[in-house]
C-alpha cells in the first residue's frame, strides 16, 4: 500500500505571490521550514505567468532560475515540490500577460501562437527543475478553465474540442518519462456546470492522475451548512465522481485544493472541518494525497482581496501555526501511517451520460442535484457509495472490474444549488 501524501499550496508570507517579482529567499526558506515542521511532505508552487513569459516569444531565464531556487530550497527543507505553469487566476485576480489582452486580445485556448507559447513555457519550466530530486511534477495551471466561459467577465471562449486540444498540447510538451507527474487542474465547473467546455472526461482521462479542487462555497455550505455531512464529505464525493469518469478504477485522484473558507464556517469550526473532510477523503481507495489551501494567510496590508482570503492559511500572516494547521498535521500523521487500505465500495450511484460519456445534465452532479443527493443520502445512512456512469452500469464486466455489486438510479427531480463564482456567499438555492 502506497502511503498517502499530505502537503500545502504555498502562499508566501511576505508579499504573497507578488514576491515572484523579487523573491526574498531567506523569507521563503523560513516559510518552507515552518511547513516542514508540521510534518508535511510537499508544496505546490505558483510562479506568475506574466513574470515568466512577458512576451509570447520571451521566457525569462531569471524567472526560471527563481523557480529552480524555490524548488531546491523546498528540497533542503525535506519537501517535494509541484510546479504550476499558467497563473493565471489566483484568489479572485487574473494574471494574464499583455500579449493576450486589450489591443492584442486573442484566445489562450484557440490561437495557435498562444497555445504554442504556453507549450514552450511548460517545457521550459519542466526542463528548469527536472534534475532536482524533489521535483514532484507539473500542473498546467491553476483552474485555467475559468477563463474559458461564463461567469468570467471577459471569457476566452472555447469548445470542448478546443479544451481537449489545449490540454493535450501542453501535456505533450513535457516528457512522458515517468520522472514526474504531468497533470492539469480545473475548478468544479468541469463536473457541475452544464455547457462548460472542459469535460469530466478531460479531467479524469488526460494526464497522469486526476486533480480535484473541493470548495464548499460553491453552494454546498449555503444549502446544507458548513459543518453538514454534505460539506465535510464534498471532497470525498468529488473523488468518487472523478473515479466514475476514469477508464479504469486504478487511476489515482489528487485532492489538490481543499480549504476551510470562513464565509461558510466559523473560525472555531475550521479545525474540525479540516479533520473530518480529510478523513472522509482518505476513505476513498483512489486518493493519492491531499494538498491544503493554503500555507499562509494573506497579509491584511495587501488590499482588496475577498475577505475569506485573509484567513485560509495553516499559518497566520506572522508565520504562527494556527489551530487548523495543527489539526491538518495531526490527521495527516495518522492517515499516513495507516496499515490497511480502504475497502472497495460495493454500491454506486448512476450518472446518466451520452455516447461520448458527457453527463446528460451536469446540474444533477452538483450540490442539491439528483446524483449528489442520492450519494449523500446513502453516505448519511452509513453506506460507502461510489459513482458510475450509465454506460458502466450497463456492463456487468465493467461493474465487476470496479467491485460494484449494486447500483442506485437517482431521482432526477432534484434541483441544483451550484455557483461557479468563487465568492458564492450570496448564492441562493435554485435550479441550474
User: Which three-class secondary structure string do you get for 205-222?
Assistant: HCCCCEEEEECHHHCHHH
pLDDT at residue 75 above 50? yes
pLDDT of residue 340: 87
Domain assignment present for residue 147? The answer is yes
Mean pLDDT on 318-334: 98
pLDDT at residue 414 above 80? no
Classified as helix, coil or strand, 139 is strand
pLDDT of residue 169: 98
pLDDT at residue 197 above 70? yes
Residue found by looking up cell 458564492 in the block = 424
- Which CATH number is 141's domain given? 3.20.20.80
pLDDT of residue 423: 55
Domain assignment present for residue 402? The answer is no
C-alpha distances in Å from residue 142, one per residue of 87, 93, 125, 213, 249: 6, 12, 15, 10, 26
pLDDT at residue 430 above 50? no
The answer to whether residues 231 and 221 touch, using CB atoms and an 8 Å cutoff, is yes
**Cell numbers at residue 146, please?**
475559468
Mean pLDDT on 342-359: 97
pLDDT at residue 262 above 50? yes
CB under 8 Å to 134, separation ≥6 — which residues?
Answer: 71, 72, 74, 75, 79, 80, 81
Domain assignment present for residue 172? The answer is yes
The total number of structural domains in the chain stands at 1
Domain assignment present for residue 190? The answer is yes
Share of the chain above pLDDT 70, in %: 97
Domain assignment present for residue 397? The answer is no
79-119 per-position pLDDT tens digit: 999 999 999 889 989 999 999 999 999 999 999 999 999 99
147-187 per-position pLDDT tens digit: 999 999 999 999 999 999 999 999 999 998 888 999 999 99
CB under 8 Å to 31, separation ≥6 — which residues?
Answer: 10, 12, 13, 295, 296, 319
Domain assignment present for residue 131? The answer is yes
pLDDT of residue 123: 97
Mean pLDDT on 44-64: 98
Least confident of 3-17, 68-82, 235-249, 411-425: 411-425
pLDDT of residue 242: 98
Q: Which residues of 231-267 are buried (b: 16+ CB within 10 A; e: fewer)?
A: bbbbbbbbbbbbbbbbeebebbbbbbbbbbbbbbbee
Domain assignment present for residue 405? The answer is no
Mean pLDDT on 198-226: 97
pLDDT of residue 40: 98
pLDDT at residue 375 above 50? yes
Domain assignment present for residue 347? The answer is no
Tell which wins on pLDDT, 371 or 429.
371
**Host domain of residue 23:** 5-336
The answer to whether residues 260 and 276 touch, using CB atoms and an 8 Å cutoff, is no
* Residue 422's pLDDT band (cuts 50, 70, 90): low
pLDDT at residue 426 above 60? no
112-140 per-position pLDDT tens digit: 999 999 999 999 999 999 999 999 999 99
Q: What's the whole-number average pLDDT of the chain? A: 95
Amino acid at each position: 500500500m502506497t502511503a498517502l501524501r499530505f502537503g500545502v499550496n504555498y502562499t508566501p508570507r511576505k508579499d504573497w505571490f507578488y514576491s515572484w517579482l523579487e523573491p526574498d529567499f531567506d523569507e521563503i526558506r523560513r516559510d518552507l521550514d515552518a511547513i516542514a515542521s508540521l510534518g508535511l511532505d510537499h508544496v505546490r508552487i505558483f510562479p506568475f505567468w506574466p513574470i515568466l513569459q512577458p512576451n509570447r516569444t520571451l521566457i525569462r531565464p531569471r524567472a526560471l532560475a527563481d523557480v529552480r531556487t524555490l524548488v531546491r530550497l523546498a528540497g533542503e527543507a525535506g519537501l517535494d515540490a509541484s510546479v504550476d505553469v499558467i497563473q493565471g487566476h489566483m484568489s479572485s485576480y487574473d494574471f494574464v500577460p499583455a500579449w493576450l489582452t486589450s489591443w492584442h486580445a486573442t484566445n489562450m485556448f484557440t490561437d495557435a501562437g498562444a497555445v504554442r507559447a504556453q507549450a514552450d513555457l511548460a517545457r521550459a519550466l519542466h526542463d528548469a527543475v527536472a534534475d532536482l530530486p524533489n521535483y514532484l511534477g507539473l500542473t498546467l495551471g491553476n483552474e485555467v478553465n475559468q477563463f474559458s466561459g461564463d461567469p468570467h467577465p471577459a471569457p476566452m471562449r472555447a469548445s470542448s474540442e478546443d479544451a481537449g486540444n489545449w490540454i493535450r498540447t501542453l501535456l505533450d510538451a513535457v516528457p512522458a518519462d515517468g520522472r514526474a507527474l504531468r497533470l492539469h487542474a480545473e475548478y468544479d465547473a468541469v463536473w457541475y456546470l452544464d455547457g462548460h467546455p472542459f469535460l469530466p472526461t478531460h479531467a479524469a482521462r488526460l494526464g497522469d492522475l486526476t486533480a480535484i479542487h473541493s470548495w464548499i462555497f460553491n453552494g454546498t455550505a449555503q444549502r446544507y451548512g458548513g459543518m453538514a455531512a454534505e460539506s465535510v464529505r464534498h471532497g470525498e464525493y468529488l473523488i468518487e465522481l472523478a473515479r466514475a469518469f476514469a477508464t479504469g478504477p486504478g487511476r489515482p485522484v489528487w485532492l489538490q485544493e481543499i480549504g476551510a473558507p470562513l464565509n461558510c464556517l466559523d473560525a472555531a469550526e475550521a479545525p474540525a472541518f479540516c479533520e473530518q473532510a480529510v478523513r472522509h477523503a482518505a476513505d476513498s481507495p483512489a486518493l493519492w494525497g491531499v494538498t491544503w489551501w493554503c500555507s499562509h494567510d494573506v497579509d491584511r496590508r495587501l488590499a482588496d482581496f475577498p475577505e475569506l482570503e485573509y484567513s485560509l492559511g495553516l499559518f497566520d500572516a506572522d508565520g504562527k501555526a494556527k489551530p487548523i494547521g495543527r489539526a491538518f498535521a495531526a490527521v495527516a500523521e495518522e492517515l499516513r501511517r495507516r496499515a490497511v487500505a480502504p475497502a472497495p465500495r460495493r454500491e454506486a450511484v448512476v450518472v446518466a451520460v451520452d455516447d461520448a460519456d458527457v453527463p446528460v445534465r451536469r446540474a444533477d452532479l452538483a450540490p442539491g442535484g439528483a446524483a449528489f443527493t442520492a450519494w449523500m443520502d446513502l453516505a448519511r445512512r452509513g453506506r460507502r457509495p461510489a459513482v458510475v456512469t450509465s454506460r458502466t452500469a450497463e456492463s456487468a464486466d465493467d461493474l465487476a472490474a470496479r467491485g460494484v455489486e449494486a447500483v442506485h438510479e437517482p431521482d432526477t427531480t432534484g434541483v441544483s444549488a451550484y455557483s461557479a463564482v468563487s465568492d458564492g456567499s450570496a448564492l441562493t438555492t435554485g435550479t441550474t
